[in-house]
Structure 1
Amino acid sequence: DTARRVEKFREKAAKQEDAAKKSKGKKVKRAVRSAKKKAEPKGSEA
């Protein structure tokens, strides 16, 4: 019961950490998007 729960939690935490290493965060994505907007000249959204 409780021992298995702890084990499950640890496995889940390890999976999350592994995924976090591969993925970019929200801040990174936002920075990239704002950089693209600055690079484009105004009035290009058509």
Structure 2
Amino acid sequence: MNQKNVIITLLFLTFVFSATSQEIIAHRGYWKTEGSAQNSVA
């Protein structure tokens, strides 16, 4: 039972971290809009 809880907790944490990392990705068409940066550094 204890090992099952550890596995479930690890899967939950993996899901949470993967969901939060998706917020960083910019929209593909944003660079075409007026006034947007043309490189990834700006």
TM normalised by structure 1 equals 0.48
Overall identity of the aligned pairs, in %: 8
Structure 1, unpaired ranges of 5+ = 25-46
Which structure has the larger Rg? 1
| Larger RCO: 1 or 2 (CA < 8 Å, sep 6+) | 2
Superposition RMSD in Å: 1.1
Misfit runs of 4+, over 6 Å = none
Q: If the length of structure 2 is used for normalisation, what is the TM-score?
A: 0.52
Q: Which runs of 5+ in 2 are unaligned?
A: 25-42
- Structure having the larger proportion of residues in helix: 1
